[in-house]
Amino acid sequence: MSADPALLERLNRHGQSHLLRYWDELEAPARAGLVAEIEAIDLDQLDSLIAQHVRGEEGAGAEIAAADVEPIEVTRMPETDGQRALRRRSASLGADMLAAGEVGVVLVAGGSGTRLGFEGPKGTFPIGPVSSASLFQIHAEKIVALSRRHGRAIPLYIMTSPENHQATGEFLEQNAQFGLERVRLFPQGRMPVVDRATGKILLAARDHVALAPDGHGGVLAALAAAGPAGAPSCLEEMRQQGVNTLFYFQVDNPLVRIADPTFLGLHREAAAEMSFKVIERVAPDEKLGVLVRVNGRPRVIEYSDLTPELAAWRSGSGTLELWAGSIAVHILERSFIERLVGEARLPFHRAIKKTPYLDESGQVTRPPEPNSVKFEQFVFDALPHSERWAVVETDRAGEFEPLKNAVGPESPATVHQRMSDQFGEWLEQAGAIVPRRPDGAVAFGVEISPLFALDAAELRTKIEPGLVVERPVYLR
């Protein structure tokens, strides 16, 4: 049986008829599966993405005139007693929100983790410097501890991708959800992957299109999508349960202060729809998205889209003017997401990556160099749609060291050291003696389970001053 003529005609029109190259060799179920994958692709949208991101070589930032860009206002780290008192007031408001059950947590864990090169979902990576606890365990324990502290089970929503959904679910089940009472997994959408030179959609197999997760910005549509077997969407479920404010973070940063009450309070005081935590960029080429205003509107410019001139723009005192680097920690109002998915679609960015594909001879080839373009949405592109926002500075050492690479910067080695440094500092604040190397780094693995202490203040209530740490330690 030949392929449906209407489908063939459509593929021809979009220059993608090669997707049916192996049609004659496929059995009926494989044909049906392939047709379903093709039907799910919006070929008109793909045409314009290919025209923009494959044929044209522009980056989004190239369109931004430097004269239109200005720094954004940031709530800076408190320095005076007065500022610290204000932060305590915000923290108390945030604590009230947690105790009232208004806050949910959204963790995005659908990425492919290609740079880390780890088999399995990145959240299952053993990152605890002493315990080898997984990223998921560390995040889950923070939520369990926070729920106990505020007397209210905080719901966790984990975004997976169709590739890692099952493995993520199994991992959590094998570990009894790490004690979480309310956790729901939801898969994100996918986009076809195209050849970098020609814009043709790649085949992953004779009966499969190459598909990749649609970026962390896919979280908005995925939260709004109906659940399995007619279950309500995540947003609908949240609405039914009175969850109005969502703390968003990414799976790869074990230092994140999940549902930080101060951040929640500052967001609420600003009546914000979307909020950002930022750190001070120290070098013009630092790989962080930068918060700015463009023609008065707030937005994030990806580091790769920032012109060298803007990246290195300095004030009279020599500091970077556009210093506010996003650490991908946000708060979003549920009502904001509901409005946004109804009225706007986030733009797609391109990512040039290595993607295995079926070559001309019908063999799967693993390319040595990036051969493909993936299309991804970024959650921070929601910002310009918000009517009110808050941008809050945090300290880099205390809250940001993501696991991205197998070696070098942002790798297991740097994350282990940063975690040990942070926990060592907490112990010192509690009066313990912690050995340090000449460069100031904590000399060996030090780790504290969130179930033992969620922060330095709690640790002070748990250990005796004068404790001497002589060997790797895991407090749990």
DSSP string, 209-253: E-EEE--TTHHHHHHHS--GGGPPPHHHHHHHTT--EEEEEETT-
Does 112 bind ligand UTP (CB under 6 A)? Our answer is yes
| Least separation in angstroms between CB 218 and ligand UTP | 6
Does 189 bind ligand UTP (CB under 6 A)? Our answer is no
Other CB atoms within a 10 A radius of the CB of residue 282 amount to 11
Q: Which stretch binds ligand UTP (CB under 6 A): 45-53, 211-219, 234-242, 337-345?
A: 211-219
How far apart CA 172 and CA 185 sit, in angstroms, is 10
Q: Which stretch binds ligand UTP (CB under 6 A): 83-91, 111-119, 192-200, 417-425?
A: 111-119
Residue with Cβ nearer ligand UTP (31 or 165):
165
| Least separation in angstroms between CB 461 and ligand UTP | 32
Other CB atoms within a 10 A radius of the CB of residue 36 amount to 9
Does 213 bind ligand UTP (CB under 6 A)? Our answer is yes
Residue with Cβ nearer ligand UTP (159 or 340):
159
User: Residue 437 burial by CB count (10 A; 0-12/13-18/19+): exposed, middle or buried?
Assistant: exposed
Question: Binding string, 271-290, against ligand UTP, x = CB under 6 A?
Answer: --------------------
Under 8 Å between Cβ of 346 and 220: yes
User: Residue 456 burial by CB count (10 A; 0-12/13-18/19+): exposed, middle or buried?
Assistant: middle
Question: Binding string, 128-167, against ligand UTP, x = CB under 6 A?
Answer: -------------------------------x--------
With a CB cutoff of 8 Å and minimum separation 6, the contacts of 323 are: 71, 280, 281
Select the residue interacting with ligand UTP from 41, 49, 97, 108 (CB under 6 A).
108
Pairing of strands 103-108, 245-250: parallel
Under 8 Å between Cβ of 211 and 204: yes
Residue nearest to ligand UTP (CB): 111
Does 311 bind ligand UTP (CB under 6 A)? Our answer is no
Distances (CA, A) of 86 to 80, 269, 273, 395: 10, 11, 21, 18
Does 109 bind ligand UTP (CB under 6 A)? Our answer is yes
Select the residue interacting with ligand UTP from 146, 251, 320, 430 (CB under 6 A).
251
Does 424 bind ligand UTP (CB under 6 A)? Our answer is no
Does 187 bind ligand UTP (CB under 6 A)? Our answer is no
Residue of 103, 95, 250 whose CA lies nearest to 182: 103
Q: Which stretch binds ligand UTP (CB under 6 A): 148-156, 213-221, 333-341, 385-393?
A: 213-221
Secondary structure (3-state) at 426: helix
Alpha carbon of residue 239 to chain centroid? 23
How far apart CA 294 and CA 284 sit, in angstroms, is 19
Select the residue interacting with ligand UTP from 111, 155, 265, 289 (CB under 6 A).
111
Residue with Cβ nearer ligand UTP (330 or 396):
330
Q: Which stretch binds ligand UTP (CB under 6 A): 2-10, 112-120, 281-289, 359-367?
A: 112-120
**Range 400-419, binding ligand UTP (CB under 6 A):** 404
Residue of 257, 263, 247, 252 whose CA lies nearest to 145: 257
The DSSP secondary-structure symbol of 334 reads H
Q: Which stretch binds ligand UTP (CB under 6 A): 32-40, 249-257, 289-297, 390-398?
A: 249-257
Size of the site for ligand UTP (CB under 6 A): 21
Residue with Cβ nearer ligand UTP (162 or 362):
162
Site of interaction with ligand UTP (CB under 6 A): 108-115, 122, 159, 188, 213-216, 218, 250-252, 376, 404
